[in-house]
């Protein structure tokens, strides 16, 4: 097992990474303050892993909420089901919520924990590659609004992140690729050596070779933990974690949540960020092509949907959180492994990038 720490003073917390951790009671108990525990999961993950987790937590006053699966349900109505269950079972302020599932479950459970009785403890048990390398770490929680992704939410840190890499065995290949988008993101923004390692090992990663997956998860979590520790509430450097996301969120919203997977939209969005960085002359053609090739090798789209015009992007990006004081800010690359957040870019170049959809 590997262990990392997200350093946030008295709100610091551990990330445990290893195979079979779902069955290790001693990893959970130090992070559960009271007797009541509520596991939140979805109807895809529950038949796979809920029983195992419940066995691990025997002895607690344990309840579970099984939500409908998917991004389309990351909304108020679904969130309400968590509160209804907690209140019906009379869970009090010492209850601990456990998010068992992908990023949708993690984001919703974290937001529920932030709101319930003005804040209760929660633990992340991410079961998709995307949630293991990204969404479970860093304390961004929330839900979608029809007008935009993650428009309602809170910064709220978990007490622990328990990553059982064995749970990836049941994950569909398309979801593995989606998770690899965020893994590639860390290489592009922060770590050229990691990017080269990914180029060497992409095939093995897609086949979920255990040692490679553990390494990729640990290196990704280390970068995320580092960035979050430096800038928890995204006043500065944390924004680089949004590479490809301003474009990607627009794709997700335009296609309808759940049509393009988040990671797929981010894959295409990062390819667009590479393309724009090249058009601006910040990286050369070879570097852009290298990054785009790696995204493609992960099984991800490298162009926006054919049905999306440049104007669709402009409209949707205007509601994105990266717009500050009416100015669109984008994460772009100065080199492979070095990202910048900037509002200084030529709008003609942006327009050309936006008009490059799939043909
Ligand atoms: N909070 C953050 O910092 C942050 C960062 C990145 C992404 N996100 C959010 O995360 C969400 C995407 O997360 P995701 O990609 O995990 O999606 P997801 O939660 O929808 O999970 C993807 C699918 O895999 C299924 N699944 C989960 N674990 C499984 C397993 N072990 N075996 C088989 N199937 C399994 C789920 O039921 C679902 O159908 C988006 O809503 C995105 O906004 C948040
Ligand atoms: Zn993301």
The overall average pLDDT reported for the chain is 95
Instruction: Name the pTM for this structure.
Output: 0.95
- Residue 356: CB partners within 8 Å, gap ≥ 6? 272, 275, 303, 304
Question: Looking at the predicted structure, is the pLDDT value of residue 359 above 80?
Answer: no
Total number of residues shown for the chain: 359
Residue 85 CA to ligand 1 center (angstroms) comes to 22
Query: Is the CB of residue 300 less than 8 Å from the CB of residue 181?
Result: yes
Strand 338-342 with 330-335, pairing: antiparallel
185 an active-site residue? no
Residue 264 CA to ligand 2 center (angstroms) comes to 10
List, for residues 287-326, the tens digit of each pLDDT value. 999 999 999 999 999 999 999 999 999 999 987 655 666 7
Minimum-distance ligand 1 atom for the alpha carbon of 71: 20
Q: Which ligand is nearest to the CA of 49?
A: 1
Q: Which residue has the higher pLDDT, 249 or 127?
A: 127
**Tokens coding 242:** 């949004």
**CA angle, 136 then 139 then 140, to 5°:** 95
- 85-88, Cβ contacts within 8 angstroms, sequence gap of 24 or more: 85/38, 86/38, 86/112, 86/116
- Residue 133: CB partners within 8 Å, gap ≥ 6? 179, 182, 183, 186, 216, 217, 220, 221, 224
* Minimal-distance CA residue to ligand 1 atom 8: 135
List, for residues 271-280, the tens digit of each pLDDT value. 999 999 999 9
Residue 250 CA to ligand 1 center (angstroms) comes to 18
List, for residues 26-41, the tens digit of each pLDDT value. 999 999 999 999 999 9
Q: How far apart are CA 80 and CA 99, in angstroms?
A: 15
Residue 114 CA to ligand 2 center (angstroms) comes to 21
Question: Looking at the predicted structure, is the pLDDT value of residue 133 above 60?
Answer: yes
Mean pLDDT calculated for residue range 223-243: 95
Residue 107 CA to ligand 2 center (angstroms) comes to 12
| Confidence at residue 243, expressed as pLDDT on a 0 to 100 scale | 97
242 an active-site residue? yes
Residue 204 CA to ligand 2 center (angstroms) comes to 22
For residue 223, what pLDDT band results from cuts at 50, 70 and 90? very high
Cα separation of the two ends of the chain: 46
Q: Which residue has the higher pLDDT, 325 or 330?
A: 330
List, for residues 144-171, the tens digit of each pLDDT value. 988 777 889 999 999 999 999 999 999 9
| 149, 185, 190, 249: the active-site residue | 249
| 31, 91, 159, 245: the active-site residue | 245
| Confidence at residue 324, expressed as pLDDT on a 0 to 100 scale | 63
Query: Of 7-16, 203-212, 260-269, 316-325, which range is least confident?
Result: 316-325
Minimum-distance ligand 1 atom for the alpha carbon of 105: 19
* Minimal-distance CA residue to ligand 1 atom 2: 135
144 an active-site residue? no
* Minimal-distance CA residue to ligand 1 atom 33: 171
Percent of the chain as helix, strand, coil, to the nearest 5: 50, 20, 30
233 an active-site residue? no
* Minimal-distance CA residue to ligand 1 atom 16: 102
| Confidence at residue 322, expressed as pLDDT on a 0 to 100 scale | 59
List, for residues 45-103, the tens digit of each pLDDT value. 999 999 999 999 999 999 999 999 998 899 999 999 999 999 999 999 999 999 999 99
Instruction: Give backbone dihedrals phi and psi of 171, rounded to 5 degrees, phi first.
Output: -80, 130
Mean pLDDT calculated for residue range 242-249: 95
- The ligand 1 site (C-beta within 6 Å) comprises 42, 44-45, 48, 69-71, 74, 101-105, 107, 127-128, 130-131, 134-135, 138, 140, 150, 167, 170-171, 175, 178, 262-263
Mean pLDDT calculated for residue range 129-146: 96
List, for residues 116-126, the tens digit of each pLDDT value. 999 999 999 99
| 31, 74, 185, 224: the active-site residue | 224
| 74, 91, 140, 219: the active-site residue | 140
Residue 47 CA to ligand 1 center (angstroms) comes to 16
| 149, 238, 254, 278: the active-site residue | 238
| Confidence at residue 187, expressed as pLDDT on a 0 to 100 scale | 98
* Minimal-distance CA residue to ligand 1 atom 15: 130
264 an active-site residue? no
140 an active-site residue? yes
């Amino acid at each position: 097992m590997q262990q990392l720490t997200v350093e946030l003073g008295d709100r610091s917390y551990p990330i445990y990474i290893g195979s079979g951790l779902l069955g290790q009671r001693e990893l959970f108990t130090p992070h559960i303050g009271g007797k009541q525990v509520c596991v939140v999961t979805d109807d895809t993950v529950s038949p796979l892993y809920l029983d195992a987790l419940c066995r691990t937590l025997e002895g607690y006053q344990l309840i579970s909420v099984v939500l409908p699966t998917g991004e389309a349900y990351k909304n108020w109505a679904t969130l309400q089901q968590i509160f209804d269950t907690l209140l019906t079972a009379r869970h009090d302020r010492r209850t601990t919520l456990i998010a068992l599932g992908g990023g949708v479950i993690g984001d919703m459970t974290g937001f529920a924990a932030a709101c319930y009785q003005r804040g209760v403890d929660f633990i992340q048990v991410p079961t998709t590659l995307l949630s293991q390398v990204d969404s479970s770490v860093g304390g961004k929680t929330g839900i979608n609004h029809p007008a935009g992704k993650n428009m309602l939410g809170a910064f709220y840190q978990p007490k622990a992140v328990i990553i059982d890499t064995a749970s990836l065995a049941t994950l569909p290949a398309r979801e593995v690729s989606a998770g690899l988008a965020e893994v590639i993101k860390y290489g592009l923004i922060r770590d050229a050596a990691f990017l080269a390692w990914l180029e060497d090992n992409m095939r093995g990663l897609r086949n979920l070779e255990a040692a490679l997956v553990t390494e990729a998860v640990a290196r990704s979590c280390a970068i995320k933990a580092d960035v979050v520790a430096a800038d928890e509430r995204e006043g500065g450097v944390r924004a680089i974690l949004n590479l490809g996301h301003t474009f990607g969120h627009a794709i997700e919203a335009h296609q309808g949540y759940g049509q393009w997977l988040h990671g797929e939209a981010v894959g295409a969005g990062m390819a667009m960020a590479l393309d724009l960085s090249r058009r601006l002359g910040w990286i050369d053609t070879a570097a852009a092509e290298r990054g785009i090739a790696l995204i493609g090798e992960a099984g991800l789209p490298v162009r926006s949907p054919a049905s999306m015009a440049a104007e669709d992007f402009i409209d949707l990006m205007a509601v994105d959180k990266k717009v500050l004081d009416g100015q669109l800010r984008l994460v772009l690359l100065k080199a492979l492994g070095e990202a910048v957040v900037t509002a200084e870019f030529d709008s003609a170049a942006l327009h050309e990038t936006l008009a490059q959809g799939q043909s």
